[in-house]
Chain A
Amino acid sequence: MIVMTKDTMEIVREQDVVPFRNRVREFSTRIGMSLVNQTKLITAASELVRNMLKYASGGKVILEIISYNAKTGVRLTFKDEGPGIPDVAMAMRDGFSTGRSLGLGLPGAKRLVNEFDLKSNPGEGTTVTVIHWKNGR
């Protein structure tokens, strides 16, 4: 895997979300991702960044353009030092929420991107990594 471009953004306030989404759009446009795939990736990113703000009062996101097996894509890594997720399997279920939301964030984001990885240690934080390839598969 080759990383071609890399950027890091701190997300600490709600107002950071829109500039962050624009940055994700910039990265996806740069590799020529189609509008539908861009929309899917940005929506997934929006869900994940919202989770980070809500449950961990913020964190940081690493944005990368990567190349692997002749495929180009955008990889986003969301890192927070929040309370962590005690039951990841439960959190990945549709309709499950410990907050007062619809509970679509994590499972929905997973459906929208090509690759999704969640690692969480209670008390230490959560890291979510997503990859969306240029052609969406």
Chain B
Amino acid sequence: MERIPILKMGPFLLVTIQIDLYDRLALTLENDLINMVSQTGARGVLIDISTVSIVDSFMGRILGNIASMSRIMDAETVVVGMQPAVAITLVELGLTLQGVYTALNVEKGMELLNTKLGDNLELDDDEEEDQDDRND
């Protein structure tokens, strides 16, 4: 069966969608990604849709699902490279991709994920410090 490859890069997972997704392929990707997040303990998912020419409500829902599921598993999702025509169409369709982070390109998307990861690490540190204070 056809599958979209998922690459692991440090604490992040990378997906480049280079073909027009039909429904089953999109659902398989959703499933594979969540499994990968669980197996690898990834902290972020980056989905590059720069070659995707059509995002309809189904595809939009899949992107939203991936983001919500990943968040529950402690990973953030960034969708990058959306074509201007796709963005215009999505908004008119009524799909605002709530809860999904977006960035202009892969580079900016990686930056965003790194910032998010940094923020979370700082938070963790703060909590540890609080713990220390209590011990004193």
Spell out A's residues near B (CB within 8 Å): 14-15, 17-18, 21, 35-36, 38-40, 42-43, 46-47, 50, 94, 101-102, 104-105, 107-109, 111-112
Q: Is B94's CB under 8 angstroms from A39's CB?
A: no
Q: What are 7 of the A-B contact pairs (CB < 8 Å)?
A: A14-B22, A14-B23, A36-B84, A39-B85, A39-B89, A40-B92, A102-B57
B56 at the interface (CB under 8 A from A): yes
Q: How far is the CA of A122 from the CA of B83 in the complex (A)?
A: 39
Q: Is A40's CB under 8 angstroms from B89's CB?
A: yes
The count of A-to-B residue pairs whose CB atoms sit within 8 angstroms is 67
Spell out B's residues near A (CB within 8 Å): 20, 22-24, 53-58, 60-61, 83-86, 88-89, 92-95
Contact residues of B: prevailing secondary structure: helix
Q: Is B88's CB under 8 angstroms from A36's CB?
A: yes
Q: Is B22's CB under 8 angstroms from A17's CB?
A: yes
A36-B88, A39-B53, A42-B54 known; A21-B20 Cβ under 8 A: yes
Q: In the assembled complex, which residues on chain B have CB atoms less than 8 Å from the CB atom of A101?
A: 57-58, 61
